[in-house]
Amino acid sequence: MKVLPFISKHRSIYLRFTALGIAVVMSFALVQMTLLFPHLTARHLIIPLLLGTTIGLMLSTLVALRREMQLKQGIFSAVADLAQEFIYVRRVDGAYDYVSPSCLQTTGYRQQDFYAQPNLMSSLIHEDDRPAWDTHVHQMHEQGNPEKLIVRIRTPAGEIRWLEHLCGDVRDENGRILGVRSTNLDITERILKEQQLWIAATAFETHEAILVTDVNSTILRVNRAFCAITGYEADEVIGKTPALLRSGTHDRNFYDAMWASLLSTGEWSGEMWDRRKNGELYPKHLTITAVKDDLGKTTHYVGIFSDISARKKTEAEINRCQTACNTFQIRGGNSVQ
């Protein structure tokens, strides 16, 4: 700390409290010296004046330092109070020096709850995450290395929330760890979306072929079953349209009816013929579904289809046998007649 700029910054404090120190000491000294020295001179007041000035300067410095600390704490609180993240400063003994108002939204507990219950945060940690949390707390108290971890907490209502916990140490001028400062971000929505994406990705790799297009029918993604059925690799079809697969069997009216159903109802389902990469024609059952945003606007199309060649062969065989049986019955009946 630079002394002169500090004194200049808090000049009014130094003037007021230095004068107070001199006044108090000089008043006490005058009373005492009047009794001891009947012939009091200015020389007798030098030491009391110096003592009063010293005491006044020391008192001024303490008040100025306290004012400086309050100012910094006020700035910190003003910034932290506006943060969406849940922020706290906790001492090693578990007591909280500061807790941001967003604690209520994040944890379900009020600032007063944290101030009244040391180590309240630890009691909120989900039981499955408690070992990792305890290891983290021990490390912060012993070594103070900044850490980031993802943990679950349980709110008073029993709701499970995911937090991204960022933690750093607080030390004194000698390097001794006094506590921790922590920022906690509620990432529950992100985690749930990631879980949904994982489930969707798992479901995407099914035995049925799947392709996803944008609203302009440009293929964005296909699964392994699509490649197995069509013979195309993913990079050969991504960026193209499903027209690549057309067999030429269906006329324009067929596709116009398909799009009319998609635009009016958001889905179409039926059988059609397509062409594999090797040129072979094959029958498939296709279901197309329009994906809409919150405003009801179509953003993507998802097509799911299966190769029904085997079924068609079976149906053809059954029909052939049925025809043969009917012919046999007709001929047998004629013979009897």
For the entire predicted model, the pTM comes to: 0.54
Q: What is the pLDDT of residue 81?
A: 58
* pLDDT of 62 higher than 60: yes
Query: If residue 220 lies in a helix (H) or strand (E), which one and from where to where?
Result: strand 219-222
Distance CA 114, CA 103 (A): 9
CB 184 within 8 A of CB 163: yes
Range with top average pLDDT, 5-14, 26-35, 56-65, 100-109: 100-109
Distance CA 272, CA 263 (A): 19
* pLDDT of 244 higher than 60: yes
Distance CA 101, CA 84 (A): 9
Q: pLDDT tier at 336 (50, 70, 90 boundaries)?
A: very low
Decide which of 85 and 92 is more confident.
92
Q: pLDDT tier at 25 (50, 70, 90 boundaries)?
A: confident
Q: What is the pLDDT of residue 50?
A: 85
Decide which of 138 and 200 is more confident.
138
Q: What is the pLDDT of residue 211?
A: 94
**CATH code for the structural domain at 83-188:** 3.30.450.20
Mean pLDDT of 91-101: 92
What DSSP assignment string belongs to 275-292? Answer: E-TTS-EEEEEEEEEEEE
Q: What is the pLDDT of residue 320?
A: 78
Going from N- to C-terminal start, the domains of the chain cover 3-79, 83-188, 205-315
Domains 83-188 and 205-315 share a fold: yes
CB 299 within 8 A of CB 292: yes
Decide which of 96 and 48 is more confident.
96
In a 10 Å sphere around its CB, with 0-12 CB exposed, 13-18 middle and 19+ buried, how is residue 6 labelled?
middle
Mean pLDDT of the chain: 86
Mean pLDDT of 33-48: 71
* pLDDT of 332 higher than 80: no
* pLDDT of 209 higher than 60: yes
34-48, 139-153, 200-214, 323-337: which range is least confident on average?
323-337
Distance CA 50, CA 263 (A): 94
Bridge-based pairing of strands 281-292 and 267-275 is antiparallel
Range with top average pLDDT, 20-24, 45-49, 302-306, 331-335: 302-306
Decide which of 219 and 59 is more confident.
219
CB 284 within 8 A of CB 271: yes
3-state DSSP helix/strand/coil % of the chain, to nearest 5: 55, 25, 20
CB 99 within 8 A of CB 76: no
Q: What is the pLDDT of residue 125?
A: 96
Distance CA 118, CA 61 (A): 33
Q: What is the pLDDT of residue 227?
A: 96
* pLDDT of 331 higher than 50: yes
* pLDDT of 76 higher than 60: no
Phi, psi of 76 (to 5 degrees): -60, -45
Distance CA 239, CA 260 (A): 24
Pair of tokens at residue 148: 């980031």
Distance CA 166, CA 181 (A): 8
Q: What is the pLDDT of residue 33?
A: 72
Pair of tokens at residue 190: 């992100």
Q: What percent of the chain has pLDDT over 90?
A: 57
**CATH code for the structural domain at 205-315:** 3.30.450.20
CB 240 within 8 A of CB 225: no
40-54, 136-150, 179-193: which range is least confident on average?
40-54
Mean pLDDT of 260-274: 95
Place of tokens 């060649």: 309
CA angle 147, 150, 152 (to 5 degrees): 135
Residues 82-91: pLDDT tens digits? 557 899 999 9
Q: What is the pLDDT of residue 7?
A: 76
Q: What percent of the chain has pLDDT over 70?
A: 88
* pLDDT of 134 higher than 50: yes
Decide which of 197 and 156 is more confident.
156
